[in-house]
Chain A
């Protein structure tokens, strides 16, 4: 009897695995959010006199950056006034974050929800998302959701907040304040 149970279980597994394998062949998935998802992605492309297409002025440096950027690239964007999004937990945010950063977690999107900060950001503008650096996947998860929400120019500061702070860039402590004073 136990033999029949195992045989049937094996048959169910084979059916499921077969269907899954076929499905995966039909519809490949990306394994990490390297490339922006298809859609109205690119910054404006203008034609320069010498005939070479180049991204429009201020956005050029940003547009040339990949999905994942370094702390110094992030700092350059910060100086241009690009918004930062902290994807860590509130307690970590309160303990120290990039000055003027918004707080947003992938979990805020759960159940069809919309993070408060989302309404304060411009989907057409670039964005820098970070988490704790190292092994943390929070910023990648969040960028995926932001891309789905129409933010096509989100970057990930791979080394995260610790590297930002260590490099001496502007940091602040305490909870988010943009709800009250609407700064940045």
Chain B
């Protein structure tokens, strides 16, 4: 495989992997709750790219077909719902603690 070949599934997979890793690192390092939410979005979208790539008829002859696209759509819908809930939690947390530092949210620790 080389980068100089015509654009194929492999390229998409690389972009998706990079986005996934960036997202994961973002979740692991950020103390700001909003940053973590962004990391989550990156992780989800990195995975989405993989689905879209496997579902595209232009890239492979053996495709998942519309299944891949549909799963991507579901993930987007889920991400939207999850973002709404997570933002609500963040707002409430801010109301109670006047901060959105996740390290401060350790009241239930063992």
A, B from the same assembly:
no
Give the A-binding residues of B (Cβ under 8 A).
none
Q: CB within 8 Å of B: which residues of A?
A: none
